Amino acid sequence: MNILKQLSNSLAFKIGAAIVLTVIIVLFVMGLVYTNRFSNQVDEHIEAQVQIPGTLMNAGLLSLDSVTDREMMRELIGEELEDGMVVGINNNVFYSLTQITWV
């Protein structure tokens, strides 16, 4: 027990503990920043992918009949976003595969 008390009172132990604590804090902050950036990039990618049909409709390259076809929407935005909405450049919702919304 005396050896542990001497070790915890030594300068080397205090410096080592401070270094370990600093590394833990820095890694925690870096993890938070990385997770936040990754989450934002995923959100931006999903938003851009869901807006593809709306952008094509605004440009006159895609008709509403194509948008109402589930197979076509799977090809445009992917199966995981199949229940998404067709959002135009001006953020109008042209169509939702779960509920039709006319603008």
Reduced to 3 states, what is the DSSP secondary structure of residue 78? coil
Tell me which DSSP letter residue 100 carries.
-
Looking at residue 86, its pLDDT comes to 64
| Domain region containing 66 | 2-96
The verdict on residue 75 lying in a domain is: yes
Give me the average pLDDT of each 10-residue run along the chain (103 residues).
Answer: 75 91 97 92 81 78 74 74 64 59 44
Reduced to 3 states, what is the DSSP secondary structure of residue 87? strand
Looking at residue 80, its pLDDT comes to 65
Looking at residue 38, its pLDDT comes to 92
Looking at residue 87, its pLDDT comes to 63
Looking at residue 65, its pLDDT comes to 74
Looking at residue 26, its pLDDT comes to 97
The verdict on residue 102 lying in a domain is: no
Reduced to 3 states, what is the DSSP secondary structure of residue 25? helix
The verdict on residue 65 lying in a domain is: yes
Cα distance between residue 1 and residue 40, in whole Å: 51
Looking at residue 95, its pLDDT comes to 60
CB 76 within 8 A of CB 53: yes
Side-chain-side CA neighbours of residue 81 (13 Å):
21
The verdict on residue 69 lying in a domain is: yes
The verdict on residue 43 lying in a domain is: yes
The verdict on residue 35 lying in a domain is: yes
Looking at residue 83, its pLDDT comes to 61
The verdict on residue 103 lying in a domain is: no
pTM (global) more than 0.85: no
Tell me which DSSP letter residue 80 carries.
G
Structural domain total, the chain: 1
